[in-house]
Structure 1
Amino acid sequence: MQKAALMLLSLSILSACGKDADHPAQTKDWYLQHDKERLARVSECNNDAAQKVTPDCQNALDAEAQVFAFGK
């Protein structure tokens, strides 16, 4: 019983590690429509390698690349 409780506790801690409570995940389309938020998030993502690999950062970075390449 203690092993199961320890495993459950470990899994819940690990699952919380990947979540960024300060930045709920947004879609690429959302970032395309919100310039100010996109630019702020891109800056944050570029300054933190751990965040840069998150889906939210990838969406912001992809949106920024699209705007840079093709405009709005």
Structure 2
Amino acid sequence: MIFSYVRNFAAVTLACSALTGCFEDTQIAGPVQTVDWYKAHDDDRTMVLGKCANNPGELQETPNCKNALEAEKHLTSGTLKKVDKW
């Protein structure tokens, strides 16, 4: 009887441990950065915005996507984008 409980507990623990890493690749890795941080780190902001744009269904509402987008808005507000000549 006790062996049955121990076996079930071990199986549940193993299953939970195995599933822990399954969802990490869908998030933007690393700590949450602030809007000011993204304003100061152009390459990182561009990389995060690219990942967010590539998978908006899962990443659009994540803190890093929101903060990187807000930083981009602050930096480009009131400026014209350069357009190449035809």
Fold-level similarity (TM above 0.5): yes
Asked if structure 2 preserves the Cα contact closer than 8 Å seen for 1:31 and 1:60, the reply is yes
Residue equivalent to 1:39: 46
What SS class does the counterpart of residue 27 from structure 1 fall into? coil
The offset of 1:27, in angstroms, is 2.7
Percent identity between the aligned chains? 32
CA deviations over 1:7-64 (Å, ceiling 9, x no partner): xxxxxxxxx8886665223333110100011011111101112111101110011111
- Count of residues in correspondence between the two structures: 71
Match of 1:56 in 2: 64
Higher relative contact order (CA 8 A, sep 6+): 1
Structure 2 regions of 5+ residues with no counterpart?
1-20, 80-86
Larger Rg: 2
